[in-house]
Structure 1
Amino acid sequence: MNRKVAIQGIKGSFHHQVAREYFSEDIDILECLSFDILVDSLLDKTVNSAVMAIENSIAGSIIPNYALIDNNQLHIIGEHYVNIHHNLMALPGQKIDDLREVYSHPMALLQCKQFFKQFPHIKLVEDADTAETARRIQQNGLKGVGAIASKTAAELFGMGILAENIQTIRDNSTRFVILQTKNSVLPEEDINKASVKFMTDHKRGSLATVLNVMSDCRLNLTKLQSLPVIETPWKYSFFVDVTFEKYDDFKKAKSLLDIMTESFKILGEYKNAKL
């Protein structure tokens, strides 16, 4: 029986690429046009796993996705990094001068803004997904309209690539997390990264004390993201990623942080994909 995996977007998207690269076995893909729908498909057991973008090396964290993982008690069981290459595409035979509008995901548009400064006649329009935009142009035979998407999308939907690698910064990567409703069963010796969430009290130096404990336990802090606690104005939760060489070091830190912080929670224990 094939593993069923939910992705945000459609086949040909970067989420689809991650699903294919992360899971070596045959998989069935469930296309979801929003992260909320993706989460629902996990919760109602339509799928076993889901792929979710969590941060980009240029645009930073995708803040709402942290809340989705936390609020729905999801577990991060793995991660995957993809170098993002954006391509401008349109129906075969079209040229850049023919385009009046280019549609894509807001993040893709942001990452390619510099390229389009040389084409002031082109209007950039935000859309839900990169690959879906390419598919729509192809299905409806839309002339004068372009999309920013991957080469895989161009191949899948028979689009012509007008310009390759149009992202402003060449070294542009996105981190994706692999989600399940239950925690991973990786052996401890294979776990060298974890995602946790906690709150601290309002005393001076509370966060610094927590970070010092992590350092003393030989944990390397790779991500620190704060989110406001909705019910309590001016109070914040901290989402932290740490790497470590020995699981015992993390185990020691867990026991200390559980005592020192408010609402300490493990979001995932998994294998570091960026070594």
Structure 2
Amino acid sequence: MSLKIAIQGIKGSNHHQVAQDYFGADIELVECLSFDTLVDRLLTNKADKGIMAIENSIAGSIIPNYALVYHNNLHIIGEHYLNIHHNLMILKGQKLEDIKEVCSHPMALLQCKEFFRDYPQIKLVEDVDTAETAKRIQEQGLRHVAAIAPSVAAELYGLDIVAENIQTIKNNATRFIVVKTKNKELPKEEINKASLRFITDHKRGSLATVLNVMSDCNLNLTKIQSLPVIETPWKYAFFVDVTFGKYDAFNKAKSLLNIMSEDFKVLGEYKNAML
């Protein structure tokens, strides 16, 4: 039986590409037009695992997804980095000068902002997904409307690409995490990265003390992101990614951080995809 993989978006999206890269072609896609729906599919056992974008090298962190992982008790079991290529595509027979409106995911529009400075007549419209817009253009025969999507979407939905790689920064990558409702136990010798969440005291130097513990335990801090604790105004939770050479060092840091910080939680232990 094929794995059911929940993705944000539909066939032809970047999430679809990551699902194939990570799990192979023999998967059953569970298409979701929002990350909230994706989480719901996992919690109701309609999907085995999920793929979630978590940060982009240009646009930064997708902050709500950190909260979704934490509040729904999801476990990060892996990660994948994908080089992003944004392409402008339209109905066959149309030309670039025919475009009056471009619909795409807000992140895609943000990453292609500079390209559209030369086309002030084109209206940029936020939509739920890149590939979904491409599919709608094809199904409804939408003229004067373009989508920003991966090249595979143009192939799937029979559209013409009128401009390739329109992202502002060509070296544009997104980090995706692989999540499920239950933790996946890897052999400790294979684990060299972890995602953590904790709250520090509202005292001077409290965060620095925690970071020093990580350093003393030979953990390398690769990401830190703060999020407000909704229930307590002006209090912040920190989401941190660390890499390490030996699991024992991380294990020691976990014990110390559990004592030194409030509401400490390991969100996932997995392999570093950058190695």
Structure 1 length as normaliser, TM-score? Answer: 0.99
Q: Which residue of 2 aligns with 1:159?
A: 159
Identity of aligned residues (%): 72
Aligned residue identity for 1:226:
S
**1:56-95: CA deviation from partner (whole Å, max 9, x where unpaired):** 0011000100000000000000000000000000011111
Q: Which residue of 2 aligns with 1:210?
A: 210
Aligned 1:170-189 pairs, distance under 5 A: 170-189=170-189
- Mean alpha-carbon deviation: is it higher for 116-125 or for 56-65? 116-125
Aligned residue identity for 1:15:
H
Q: Which residue of 1 aligns with 2:269?
A: 269
Q: Which residue of 2 aligns with 1:230?
A: 230
* Aligned-pair CA distance for 1:119: 1.2
* Aligned-pair CA distance for 1:25: 6.1
Describe the SS at the equivalent of 2:249: helix
Q: Which residue of 1 aligns with 2:125?
A: 125
* Aligned-pair CA distance for 1:121: 1.4
Aligned residue identity for 2:200:
T
Q: Which residue of 1 aligns with 2:96?
A: 96
Give the Cα separation in 2 of the matches to 1:194 and 1:25. 27
**Residue 46 in 1 paired to residue 85 in 2?**
no
| Runs of 4+ in structure 1 over 3 Å off | none
Give the Cα separation in 2 of the matches to 1:221 and 1:31. 33
Give the Cα separation in 1 of the matches to 2:174 and 2:32. 19
Q: Which residue of 2 aligns with 1:23?
A: 23
Describe the SS at the equivalent of 1:117: helix
**Residue 245 in 1 paired to residue 268 in 2?**
no
Give the Cα separation in 1 of the matches to 2:182 and 2:257. 22
The gaps in structure 2 that reach 5 residues or longer are: none
Describe the SS at the equivalent of 2:114: helix
Q: Which residue of 2 aligns with 1:191?
A: 191
Aligned residues: 275
* Aligned-pair CA distance for 1:139: 0.2
Q: CA RMSD in A?
A: 0.7
Describe the SS at the equivalent of 1:269: strand
* Aligned-pair CA distance for 1:203: 1.6
